[in-house]
């Protein structure tokens, strides 16, 4: 297993649509193992294949950070079958440096996908798990959480990121961005 490089916004790969996995191969299983190791090393609670440069519909999620691996979810070709309710959640992303924002999501979701043995997996989720699943599935569709916030907040973040990249110094997050 290996820790992979996580792509950072504005890398164009993050905006691309991921392809369905037609066959689960040893390479697919190895990618999933590497994604799990990368997610834990980051550390994060979720990771999608496009974040490590693989445009395939694969996600890994583990919101139980006190017991890593106990509730690990690995999904190939995940789909949201049902979504209900509404929740506002403060989100961050391993691919979006030094920024969080409140994002509106479904409060409960039912997600269906395949595991590495090509068996169907159904996940009924609420709270952080529901948010994390929606966040990672967005990555598969070329969306980042910053695409779900106001244009003003997104533009402020983009300007701050450009300045940070130009100067090489992290810029303090403006309190206005935490709304």
- Sketch the domain layout of the chain as residue ranges: 12-149
Active site residues: 136
CA 115 to chain centre: 18
Question: What is the rounded distance in angstroms from the CA atom of residue 114 to the CA atom of residue 58?
Answer: 9
Nearest to 157 by CA among 167, 145, 139: 145
* Predicted pLDDT of residue 65: 84
* Predicted pLDDT of residue 149: 94
Convert the pLDDT of each residue in 151-171 to its tens digit: 999 999 999 988 888 887 765
Kindly report the CATH number that applies to the domain delimited by 12-149. Answer: 3.90.45.10
Confidence of residue 178 (pLDDT cuts 50, 70, 90): very low
Convert the pLDDT of each residue in 126-160 to its tens digit: 999 999 999 999 999 999 999 999 999 999 999 99
Question: What is the rounded distance in angstroms from the CA atom of residue 86 to the CA atom of residue 106?
Answer: 5
* Predicted pLDDT of residue 170: 64
Q: Taking the model in full, what pTM does it have? A: 0.91
């Amino acid at each position: 297993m290996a820790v992979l490089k996580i792509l950072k916004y504005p890398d164009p790969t993050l905006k691309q649509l991921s392809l369905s996995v037609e066959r689960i191969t040893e390479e697919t299983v190895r990618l999933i193992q590497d994604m799990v190791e990368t997610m834990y090393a980051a550390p994060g609670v979720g990771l999608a294949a496009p974040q490590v440069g693989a445009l395939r519909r694969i996600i890994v999620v583990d919101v139980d950070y006190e017991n890593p691996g106990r509730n690990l979810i690995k999904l190939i070709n995940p789909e949201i079958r049902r979504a209900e309710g509404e929740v506002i959640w403060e989100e961050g992303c391993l691919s979006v440096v030094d920024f969080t924002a409140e994002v509106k999501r479904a409060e409960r979701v039912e997600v269906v996908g395949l595991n590495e043995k090509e068996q169907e997996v159904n996940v009924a989720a609420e709270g952080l798990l529901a948010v994390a699943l929606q966040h990672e599935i967005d990555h598969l569709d070329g969306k980042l959480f910053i695409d779900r916030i106001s244009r003003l907040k997104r533009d402020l973040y983009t300007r701050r990121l450009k300045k940070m990249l130009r100067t090489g110094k992290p810029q303090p997050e403006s309190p206005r961005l935490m709304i």
